[in-house]
């Protein structure tokens, strides 16, 4: 209820804001927005007002080389921002330390809601300004600066080819399949030619199954109906990995647009309660639907890797990916990956390997843990 009231309040305030010439001039001033990624500020790129040329491969390579050289000089983890996984030396990706979401201590609900309202109001004003042509669309900040490509038709063809193999076909109730097909159709329509935003949406929604499973299992424990620590441990490890996938996509600028955030947040809440209901009725049905979604993620990541292989191998990995996958203590990663696939050599030298490891994680979860759990609860 509060979210929808905030939405209509944001809209009305934005209309009033844009009525005056003075406010219009203010919106066109890029420096007036505190939430602008540091990618633009640190590089201080000066261009004419009408500049809209897409960066070339040489430009991206120069940025990548600068970032790698800067990263080689960074040592230690003496502050909170480094622990989160972002570095001052990295010019390639979005620095999320400006976001009010990254705080040392959780605040009260009123304080958090107010901070979120201010951030989203600013994002809504900027989105409307860009839509109306009053604010220039800057193609030199993530994710537009990367130039990634993804063909929806090829993803669908890859899915049909996988399902044509009997051992790879996922048997599911017809009405559950209808929901899945509608979800895939919406994603193809809403995120056409925007792969980073698409992946960010998928990773936002992909965390919800494990939140819902853990919530229901905790309720069962509280009521004294059921108790099994191993299953809770597995789901927590799965959610923790999805959380880092989400951070990686945020560092690529996947959540930069207000409308993408609005849709993903509301879809995730709706998906959470659908899965809670699924799990109440039949745990195997909930796991089955999650397997469908993860199989779609595998097809999408595979096509994305094949299409953008050359570019991905030139880009350095985000700091959050290095600190997570190359950490000495990979308890949560080992809990799922290494137990399923055996010894996995994690080489995080370029963005290509980051996406590869993420895809490998989804493949292993699709093929083994989810299916094993689904069969176990039948």
Structure tokens at 309: 């292989």
- Per-residue confidence (pLDDT) for residue 102, from 0 to 100: 63
- Per-residue confidence (pLDDT) for residue 14, from 0 to 100: 45
- Per-residue confidence (pLDDT) for residue 346, from 0 to 100: 55
SS3 content of the chain, % helix, strand, coil (to 5): 70, 0, 30
- Per-residue confidence (pLDDT) for residue 123, from 0 to 100: 85
How many residues does this entry show for the chain?
378
Sign of the alpha-carbon torsion through 266, 203, 39, 112: positive
d(CA 144, CA 247): 18
8-state DSSP, 318: P
- Per-residue confidence (pLDDT) for residue 376, from 0 to 100: 52
What are the pLDDT digits (tens) for 258-306? 999 999 999 999 999 999 998 998 888 888 888 888 888 888 998 999 9
Closest CA to 64 of 138, 144, 145: 145
Closest CA to 293 of 199, 187, 206: 206
Alpha-carbon dihedral 361, 96, 14, 189, rounded to 10 degrees:
-20
What are the pLDDT digits (tens) for 296-355? 888 899 899 999 988 888 888 888 888 777 765 555 555 555 554 444 445 677 888 888
Q: What contacts 24+ positions apart, CB below 8 Å, involve 211-220? A: 211/239, 211/272, 212/272, 212/273, 212/275, 212/276, 212/278, 212/279, 212/286, 213/275, 213/279, 213/283, 213/286, 214/239, 215/276, 216/276, 216/279, 216/280
Phi and psi at 47, nearest 5°, equal -135, 160
- Per-residue confidence (pLDDT) for residue 38, from 0 to 100: 38
Structural Rg of the chain based on CA atoms:
22
For the chain, the distance separating the N- and C-terminal CA atoms, rounded to the nearest angstrom, is 37
Domains of the chain plus CATH, in order, are 2-92+95-131 (no CATH), 152-377 (1.20.1260.140)
- Per-residue confidence (pLDDT) for residue 16, from 0 to 100: 41
* Residues in the chain where the model's pLDDT stays below 50: 1-5, 7-9, 12-90, 340-345, 369
Closest CA to 248 of 311, 323, 298: 323
Place of tokens 């993530």: 142
């Amino acid at each position: 209820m509060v979210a929808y009231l905030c939405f209509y309040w944001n809209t009305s305030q934005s209309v009033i804001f844009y009525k005056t010439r003075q406010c219009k001039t203010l919106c066109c001033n890029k420096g007036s927005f505190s939430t602008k990624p540091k990618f633009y500020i640190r590089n201080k790129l000066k261009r004419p007002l009408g500049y809209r040329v897409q960066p070339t491969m040489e430009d991206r390579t120069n940025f990548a080389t600068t970032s790698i050289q800067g990263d080689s000089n960074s040592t230690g983890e003496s502050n909170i921002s480094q622990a989160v996984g972002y570095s001052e030396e990295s010019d390639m990706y979005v620095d999320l330390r400006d976001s009010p979401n990254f705080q040392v201590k959780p605040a009260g609900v009123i304080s958090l809601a107010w901070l979120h309202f201010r951030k989203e109001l600013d994002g809504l004003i900027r989105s409307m300004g860009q839509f109306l042509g009053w604010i220039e669309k800057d193609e030199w900040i993530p994710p537009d600066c990367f130039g990634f490509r993804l063909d929806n038709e090829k993803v669908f063809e890859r899915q049909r080819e996988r399902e044509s193999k009997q051992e790879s076909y996922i048997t599911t109730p017809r009405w559950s399949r209808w929901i899945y097909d509608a979800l895939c159709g919406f994603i193809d329509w809403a995120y056409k030619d925007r792969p980073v935003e698409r992946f960010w949406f998928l990773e936002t929604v992909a965390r919800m199954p494990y939140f819902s499973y853990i919530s229901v299992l905790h309720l069962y424990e509280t009521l004294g109906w059921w108790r099994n620590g191993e299953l809770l441990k597995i789901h927590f490890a799965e959610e923790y990995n999805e959380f880092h996938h989400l951070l990686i996509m945020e560092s690529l600028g996947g959540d930069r647009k207000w409308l993408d955030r609005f849709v993903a947040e509301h879809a995730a809440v709706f998906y959470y309660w659908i899965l809670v209901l699924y799990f109440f009725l039949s745990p195997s049905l909930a796991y089955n639907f999650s397997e469908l979604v993860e199989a779609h993620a595998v097809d999408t990541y595979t096509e994305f890797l094949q299409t953008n292989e050359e570019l991905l191998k030139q880009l350095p990995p985000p700091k959050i990916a290095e600190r997570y996958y190359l950490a000495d203590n990979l308890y949560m990663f080992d809990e799922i990956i290494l137990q399923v696939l055996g010894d996995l050599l994690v080489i995080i030298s370029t963005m290509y390997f980051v996406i590869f490891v993420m895809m490998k994680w989804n493949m292993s979860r699709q093929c083994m843990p989810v299916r094993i759990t689904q069969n176990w609860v039948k």
